[in-house]
Amino acid sequence: MLAEQQNNSSRNVFILILTCPFFSYVFYILKLKNRTAKNGERFIFSRQEEKGGKGMETSILKLNHYTDEATKEMLQKVVEKKRKFEVLHKRHLLVMWLTILFAFCYFFFLYKHVAIPYAHSMERMFSAFVEESFNLYAMTVIIGSFGFMNVLKQKTDKAEKEFHALRCEIIDKSKDLWKKEEEWKNRHQVFEMMKKEYDINLFYESK
């Protein structure tokens, strides 16, 4: 009787510990969701706060007269798309590792509290699994997390494609964006700034 009470106590403690990664994950996702702007693409970053909220990046804004306003808008857009991709990529990695951690802890819990004690009977093992309401909750969390992880992966891949598509478009249209001879000769300054400030390569199309 005492052994059973100790087993139930340790199981309850383990269940409590097991739920911590999930709730941390939910809190973080909700926090990230609030950082998404109304248009569904722009995110609020600390750099934007430093330059006064919405608008153009300071480094792009300060480009000389060799770069016109339309080109600056394209440069701003490619920066935003890169940041969107980076945020989604980090979010996907976070969800992936939390899902793996939660799944590992849960299956360890099953092994210790279901598989070992009832290894002599598959029927009794199944009954113990069904009787514990936590198992339904845990399986729902794991399946839901795997589904959400795949959704984030698709969004990340889409954001990456959009970023590289716009980046390559700027490279392809370089002669149109910097039409005049003086503009063309000074375009490398813009490319170097984009590489240095935002790690965006506009010299050639390969990633």
| Domain, as residue range, for 62 | 2-198
Q: How many separate domains does the chain show?
A: 1
pLDDT at 207 (0 to 100): 66
Residue 120 makes CB contacts below 8 A (sequence gap 6+) with none
**207 in a structural domain:** no
Helix and strand numbers (H, E) in the chain are 8, 0
**25 in a structural domain:** yes
Q: Does the structure show a pLDDT above 90 at 88?
A: yes
**55 in a structural domain:** yes
Closest listed residue to residue 202, CA positions, set 67, 39, 56: 67
Q: What is the pLDDT of residues 190-204, one digit of tens each?
A: 999 999 999 999 998
Largest CA distance in the chain: 90
Q: Does the structure show a pLDDT above 70 at 44?
A: no
Q: Does the structure show a pLDDT above 60 at 6?
A: no
pTM for this prediction: 0.75
Q: Average pLDDT, stretch 142-169?
A: 93
**203 in a structural domain:** no
